[in-house]
Amino acid sequence: MKRIKRAVTIHDVARAAGVSISTVSRVLNNKDYVAPETYEQVQAVIKEMGYASSLAARSMRSRKTGVIGLVVPDVGDPFQIQVMRGINRAIAEFDRDLIVYTGGDFTKEASADRERYFVSLLNGSITDGMIIVTPAANDFSSVSPVVAVDPNSHNSDYPAVIATNYAGVLEAMEYLIGLGHRRIGFIGGRPELQSAVQRLQGYKDGLQQAGIPVDPDLIQPGDYRRETGSACAERLLGLPSPPTAIFGANDQSAIGAIEAARKAGLGVPDDVSVVGFDNIPEAAYMNPGLTTVDQFIDQMGYVATEMLVRLIQGEDLDRELYEMPTELVVRGSCRSL
Amino acid sequence: MKRIKRAVTIHDVARAAGVSISTVSRVLNNKDYVAPETYEQVQAVIKEMGYASSLAARSMRSRKTGVIGLVVPDVGDPFQIQVMRGINRAIAEFDRDLIVYTGGDFTKEASADRERYFVSLLNGSITDGMIIVTPAANDFSSVSPVVAVDPNSHNSDYPAVIATNYAGVLEAMEYLIGLGHRRIGFIGGRPELQSAVQRLQGYKDGLQQAGIPVDPDLIQPGDYRRETGSACAERLLGLPSPPTAIFGANDQSAIGAIEAARKAGLGVPDDVSVVGFDNIPEAAYMNPGLTTVDQFIDQMGYVATEMLVRLIQGEDLDRELYEMPTELVVRGSCRSL
DNA sequence: CTGTTAGCGCCTTCAC
DNA sequence: GTGAAGGCGCTAACAG
């Protein structure tokens, strides 16, 4: 490993090239006119010395760094991975760099604090702007713009991208009810997120539109995680009058529900139908495939990045809230009664 | 959103609190003695103004930032996710911050360049040290330490953590051969990585130890990705004399192989036995469970972080190469002939 | 215990 | 075209 004793600075380059630091700075930034031969000269020295300008120093002088920050609660979560994919795509396209921060396993309170900490640590100093996925915190103080993906219920004043959760669930409920299901269980999401609230509402309204009363026993409080989904489904299936279908607020919950069903010796879709929300890649891999509501996750990441870049460039947004249309994807996890 | 017009600096705080900037700096860093009442005073102002010191400025002055950088080629890969989990655990324990960079879909050449770029961008300026997972590049020029997880074959001079790949594969081969398998296919990993080289060698030597000749047709060049594993397995199973067992250089390859087998109407383990390497969580979820070699991935991440922290603190390492012992985990994906 | 003074590495006027 | 000088926000001596 070529471990250099002391970092090579713009000074070193200038000295080696026999020019002043301003000239080096100029060739670095491709601004102002530099004599072609001087340019080549300096470039050669830079390459030879393996010089790279210090992000720290650079960002201190000029407000733009070209790097975007991303805060995700859990890198292991498929939803969040998909969002990252979309962001990565956009990052490449907009010629930015991406730095991501990810918390560990924290309580809701602790993650909110970590999010705030990271925003104030990075934003405006190292980072031109940040994207926060499913924020636990509901306010951030930051010089630079912040965009949320699937925002917290209490920070609707941030620019954000969110799916048409309500409409999506409604469509899926109609499908389920059309199949003849009347007792439909629901595994909720992280209640502090708008998506979770909207999906729950869609569930209730879907029932009501069909004239089916809402049974509180059929609504289990989840948190978008697979294990929790499994536990919720277990309770649902253990009810005196168990549901014939289960709606997971996201695919992870639904997958957990399927696991619970199998563990209880129940077949999907033969004994219980299951529907999810998200359309993560796993949903298609499964056997049978999971019927779910596609919310085009990676596109959400892309759009969020696009919005953030506009804000960074000082442009205005067409709309502060981008609503990603959803689409029901029917696979094999449901059957008609 | 509380968007502040201009970032509040240490100056603003000092002025508001009626003290000098050094005093503010002192309370910030909890160093030197500050009168308790002054301390409280300043803390109050800091909180009220929502002040956060600029990482950029801070890291420019003092060589320590407390943040560790991580470069992972693909955040969507389960192996890498597990490594990150381990790193996160260590980060919390050592009271550091973690910033991760992840490339998009690049060619090998391009990712090597991106890795180098990021190391020089961050290391020594924003970051105290970096961990590189499965590096494509084989050299980095950096002031601050770099530790690799599953290193490139050509940079064995970096501190690194790697599993006992050779021994692990050997053990699995003995198991397979003990089951009566003689024609065993092999799906290789990313050939530039030491792990891939060692695993291939283990495969060959395992065969030879049992007196089974190595058939080149049975060795397919993979790249640790599921899709590639699937394609390789398809070729293997299409051979005039197909293998009765397939060894995937990692679990992703093995899972891809299982998919390919199913697509070809073959049952696992009834028609083909499959073994993987890694023991990613998915391996246990599958049905049947995947027999694989556990390399305690998250522990690798933990150890790498531990090593890096020592290096950052100027301590010496007991050994430059930490070898994580592996362990065969037998599940249901193999059967005896 | 607290304030003053140098820079850290870089970009940006302003002269030449 | 190029160099010199100032300062970004902060910490680390050095005085008091």
Q: Is residue B233 over pLDDT 80? A: yes
Beta bridge partners of B70: B100, B131
Using a CB-CB distance cutoff of 8 angstroms, which residues of chain A are in contact with residue B100? 75, 99-102
What percent of chain A has a predicted confidence (pLDDT) above 70?
Answer: 97
Nearest 5°: CA angle at A53, between A52 and A56?
130
Burial classification of residue B321, based on how many CB atoms lie within 10 Å of its CB (0-12 exposed, 13-18 middle, 19 or more buried) = middle
Contact residues for B273 (Cβ-Cβ < 8 A; gap 6+): B176, B179, B181, B244, B245, B246, B291, B333, B334, B335
Query: What does the alpha-carbon distance between residue A274 and residue A186 come to, in Å, rounded to a whole number?
Result: 10
Three-state SS sequence of chain A: CEECCCCCCHHHHHHHHCCCHHHHHHHHHCCCCCCHHHHHHHHHHHHHHCCCCCHHHHHHHCCCCCEEEEEECCCCCHHHHHHHHHHHHHHHHCCCEEEEEECCCCCHHHHHHHHHHHHHHHECCCECEEEEECCCCCCCEECCCEEEECCECCCCCCCEEEECHHHHHHHHHHHHHHCCCCCEEEECCCCCEHHHHHHHHHHHHHHHHCCCCCCHHHEECCCCCHHHHHHHHHHHHCCCCCCCEEEECCHHHHHHHHHHHHHCCCCCCCCCEEEEEECCHHHHHCCCCCEEEECCHHHHHHHHHHHHHHHHCCCCCCCCEEEECCEEECCCCCCCC
**Which pLDDT belongs to residue A60?**
85
Nearest CA-CA partner of B63 in B314, B320, B315, B317: B314
Does the beta-carbon distance from A7 to B104 stay under 8 Å? no
At residue A1, the pLDDT reads 46
Check residue A104 and give its pLDDT.
66
Q: Is the model's pLDDT at A2 over the cut of 60?
A: no
Report whether pLDDT(B87) > 50.
Answer: yes
Sorting pLDDT into bands at 50, 70 and 90, what band is A4?
A: very low
Q: How confident is the model at residue A179 (pLDDT cuts 50, 70, 90)?
A: very high
Averaged pLDDT for residues B239-254 = 98
Q: Give the model's pLDDT for residue B155.
A: 72
The amino acid at residue B234 is E
Contact between residue A179 and residue A291 where contact means Cβ atoms under 8 Å apart: no
Q: Tell me: the pLDDT tens digits for B178-203?
A: 999 999 999 999 999 999 999 999 99
What are the tens digits of pLDDT across the range A234-256?
999 999 999 999 999 999 999 99
Residues 49-68 of B with CB under 7 A from strand C: 57, 60-61
CA distance B179 to B163: 25
Secondary structure of chain B as H, E, C letters: CEECCCCCCHHHHHHHHCCCHHHHHHHHHCCCCCCHHHHHHHHHHHHHHCCCCCHHHHHHHCCCCCEEEEEECCCCCHHHHHHHHHHHHHHHHCCCEEEEEECCCCCHHHHHHHHHHHHHHHECCCECEEEEECCCCCCCEECCCEEEECCECCCCCCCEEEECHHHHHHHHHHHHHHCCCCCEEEECCCCCEHHHHHHHHHHHHHHHHCCCCCCHHHEECCCCCHHHHHHHHHHHHCCCCCCCEEEECCHHHHHHHHHHHHHCCCCCCCCCEEEEEECCHHHHHCCCCCEEEECCHHHHHHHHHHHHHHHHCCCCCCCCEEEECCEEECCCCCCCC
Mean pLDDT for A309-331 is 95
Q: What is the pLDDT of residue A5?
A: 52
Cα–Cα dist B254/B262, whole Å: 12
Please check the confidence at residue B4 and state whether its pLDDT lies above 70.
Answer: no
Cα distances (angstroms) measured from residue A229 to each of A140, A181, A232, A256: 30, 20, 5, 5
The answer on pLDDT for A189 being more than 60 is yes
Of the candidates B1, B75, B155, the beta carbon closest to that of A1 is on B155
**Strand C bases, protein C-beta under 7 A:** 1-5, 7-13
Residue B2 has pLDDT above 60, yes or no: no
Q: Rounded to two decimals, what is the model's pTM? A: 0.88
Lowest mean pLDDT among A159-163, B39-43, B154-158, B166-170: B154-158
Q: Cβ–Cβ of B2/A85 closer than 8 Å?
A: no
Taking all residues of chain B, what is their mean pLDDT, rounded to a whole number?
A: 92
| A109 to chain B, closest Cα gap in Å | 16
Chain-chain contact of B76 with A81 (C-beta, under 8 angstroms): yes
Asked if A208 CB < 7 A from strand C, the reply is no
Is strand C within 7 Å of residue B23 (CB)?
A: yes
Task: From A297, A310, A251, select the one nearest A150 (Cα to Cα).
Answer: A297
Q: What is the pLDDT of residue A106?
A: 66
pLDDT for B102: 82
For residue range B318-328, list pLDDT tens digits in order: 999 999 999 99
Rg of chain A on CA atoms, in Å: 25
| Residues of chain A found within 8 Å of residue B46, distances taken between Cβ atoms | none
Query: Does residue A9 carry a pLDDT above 50?
Result: yes
How far is Cα B70 from Cα B96, in angstroms, rounded to an integer? 12
Contact indicator for A97, A127 with CB cutoff of 8 Å: no
With CA of B20 and C1' of each nucleotide, the nearest comes out as C3
Question: CB under 8 Å to B304, separation ≥6 — which residues?
Answer: B83, B86, B87, B131, B147, B148, B149, B160, B161, B322
Quick one: which of A293, A235, A246 has its CA closest to A271?
A: A246
For residue A276, how many other CB atoms are within 10 A of its CB?
32
Q: Is B38 within 7 A of strand C by CB distance?
A: yes
Residue B88, pLDDT above cutoff 50: yes
What pLDDT shows up at residue B105? 62
Between A35 and A248, the more confident residue is A248
- Amino acid B260: pLDDT: 97
Answer yes or no: is pLDDT of B1 > 50.
no
In the numeric block, which tokens belong to residue B300?
A: 């690798």
Average pLDDT over residues B98-116: 81
- Antiparallel, parallel or unpaired: β B184-187 and B219-220: parallel
pLDDT at res. A74 = 85
User: Does residue A44 surpass a pLDDT of 50?
Assistant: yes
Which window residues (27-86, chain A) lie with Cβ within 7 Å of strand C?
28-29, 31-32, 53-54, 57-58, 60-62
Q: Are B134 and B161 in contact (CB under 8 A)?
A: no
For residue B166, what pLDDT is reported?
A: 98
* pLDDT higher than threshold 80 for residue A131: yes
Q: How many CB pairs under 8 A join A and B?
A: 135
Alpha carbon distance B289, B65 (integer Å): 44
